[in-house]
Amino acid sequence: MKDKLREIITSRAASKEYPGKGMTRLVKNRSQFKGNTLNIQTCDEYITVTNTYWTSVVQQLYSIKDNKTYIEFRIDSMPLKWIRDKFSSFKTIKESIVVLGPNIKVYFVDYGSTHITSYMESNGCSFIDNGKAIDTLKNVRRTHQMIKDKFKILSETELINVIDEVEIDDHGYKYKQKQTSLKQLL
């Protein structure tokens, strides 16, 4: 099956129908049930399956070259007044705070929004179905709620004690980010 997928990707990437792009959409904006959108595409040595569930996204990427599947779960929340108020009350912390854990990253943003991303990696072509994706998103939401609850009760002084300022180099774009580990926060 892997050879067949590689053949499909290679032939479509090299065709004149897709000049220079190497990307082919196999399924575009298909809804499997209410609140869901599915997209499947290939690009060079990758197959990507993206499912959206209301405000959540599960993106699965299979690398034919590495023979690995990388899965990312993302949840974006609506801005919450208490987070915005908390940031406006801070004297030293004015931007965002990032909480890092094993395979999880939570952003608290000064305008009140939170973003959470969780990662998973497995060998071979191992896409997950909607049921498992939704169950995993529920677990990520529980973790997200636990982190928000802890963030809500901490004072600025307590947060400063567990936050480090780290310089990030994102492909040449350098910036400083305030972050803490999940272990330190909890």
User: Which stretches of 20-76 are assigned E, i.e. beta strand?
Assistant: 23-30, 36-43, 46-53, 56-63, 68-76
The whole-angstrom separation of Cα 125 and Cα 168 is: 32
The structure tokens 């998103």 sit at 137
Q: Where are the domains of the chain?
A: 2-185
Percent of the chain beyond pLDDT 90?
6
Please give the pLDDT value at position 27. 66
Mean pLDDT of the chain: 77
Q: Mean of the pLDDT values across residues 131-143?
A: 90
pLDDT at 161: 77
Residue 85 C-beta-side C-alpha neighbours within 13 Å: 4
Q: What digits encode the pLDDT tens for the residues 109-127?
A: 877 788 888 888 889 888 8
Residue reference for tokens 């499912």 = 51
Give the residue with greater pLDDT, 26 vs 157.
Answer: 157
The reported pTM is 0.74
Higher pLDDT, 185 or 38: 38
- Token representation of residue 148: 């928000």
pLDDT top residue among 52 and 169:
52
Task: List C-alpha distances in Å: 5 to 25, 128, 129, 145.
Answer: 14, 18, 19, 40
